[in-house]
Copies of this chain bind each other. A is one copy, B any other.
Amino acid sequence: MTTVTLVEEKDASTEVAEIYQDIRKTFGMPFVPNLFKAIAHNPAYLRASWERVKVVMGPGLIDRKTKEMIAIAVSAANGCDYCVLAHTAAFKSMGGNDAALVELMAVVDVFSGFNKMLEGLQVAPDIGV
């Protein structure tokens, strides 16, 4: 259970409520994720984090669906249930099916294994790479 109280929408200050509204609008979802409700105890940090999310997950050189896959892969490597679940839901809403999720995790599997084995053998990078 979350170790801080969640700042619910009905209890939010005007500043926080405005950020919540922007989150719901941008995500196109009927609720504000717990992540943001938990950090709303620090409105300046909430605002700066949310602004950064919009920049990073917004349009750019890498498409949104690929970014969702990277979010899942990174969260798997770092061991975060919350983010794995949230971004798997997002990936599925964009058409990602079970086979694609397994193919994504196959890549995570291969490299997580090699990452640790190479550390264990202290393998030096290839010359010229």
The interface of chain A, by Cβ under 8 A from chain B, is 1-5, 31, 33-35, 38-39, 41-42, 44-45, 47-49, 51-53, 55-57, 60-62, 66-67, 69-86, 88-89, 98-126, 128-129
Contacts and interface: CB of A to CB of B under 8 A. Distances in A.
Contact of A118 (B83, B110, B129): B83
* 10 shortest interchain CB distances as A-B pairs: A76-B120, A113-B113, A80-B115, A77-B77, A109-B117, A112-B116, A78-B115, A109-B113, A48-B52, A4-B98
Given A79-B79, A85-B122, A102-B41, A107 B56 contact: yes
A82 B3 contact: no
Q: How many copies of this kind of chain does the complex include?
A: 6
